[in-house]
Amino acid sequence: MNATEARQLIEAAIPPQTTATWADLGCGAGAFTYAVADLLGKGSKIFAVDKLNQHLSAKRGETQIEFLQADLERQPLPFRSLDGIIMANTLHYIKDQEAFLKQLRAHLKDNGQLLLVEYDTVRSNQWVPFPLTFEKAHTLLTQAGFSEVSRIGEHPSSFRNEMIFACVAHA
């Protein structure tokens, strides 16, 4: 998925030109990092976090991007009071998803938002070891203390004959 497709998938959740601080957990090459940056306003910042070293631009438009190399399951996240967190195709690598989501909630401001993008599937494989459907994501987010969970978009998967969903939840 390219940055334009990523932006179209998530833009309903991010008010345009808002100055905010976000984190992209499991950022990979940065398609969703750049999509969020394109939506945010002047003076915004995104912490792009990945287990592997990534080479992302330090700035996209008026948004500063800071890359952090970290293992999300084994290392504490070094930031708090975020306006938003995006996890695009990342949660399916986390074994204890509910506990992880509870921890994430503590990194968000009151009414901060968590944006998930995931394969809408129950079938696991080596690339999606712990799959989740939108319904499972909704349940996990609610159990982790998030509210107002809503599906905001979907896109055909290029790797499977299934859909990718995007949803947003509030802390």
**Run of H or E residues at 139:** helix 134-143
* Domain range list for the chain: 3-170
- Among the four given CATH numbers 3.40.50.970, 3.30.540.10, 3.90.1150.10, 3.40.50.150, the one describing domain 3-170: 3.40.50.150
Give the distance, in angstroms, between the CA of residue 60 and the centroid of all CA atoms in the same chain.
Answer: 18
Half-sphere exposure of residue 47: CA atoms within 13 angstroms, side-chain side: 19
Give DSSP secondary structure letters for 23-88: EEET-TTSHHHHHHHHHS-TT-EEEEEESS-----SEETTEEEEEEE--TTTS--S---EEEEEEE
pLDDT tens for 133-170 read: 999 999 999 999 999 999 999 999 877 678 999 999 99
Predicted TM-score of the model (pTM): 0.95
Q: Cα–Cα distance between 53 and 50 in angstroms, integer? A: 7
Which residues on adjacent β-strands are paired with residue 23?
Answer: 47, 85
66-108 residue pLDDT tens: 999 999 999 999 999 999 999 999 999 999 999 999 999 999 9
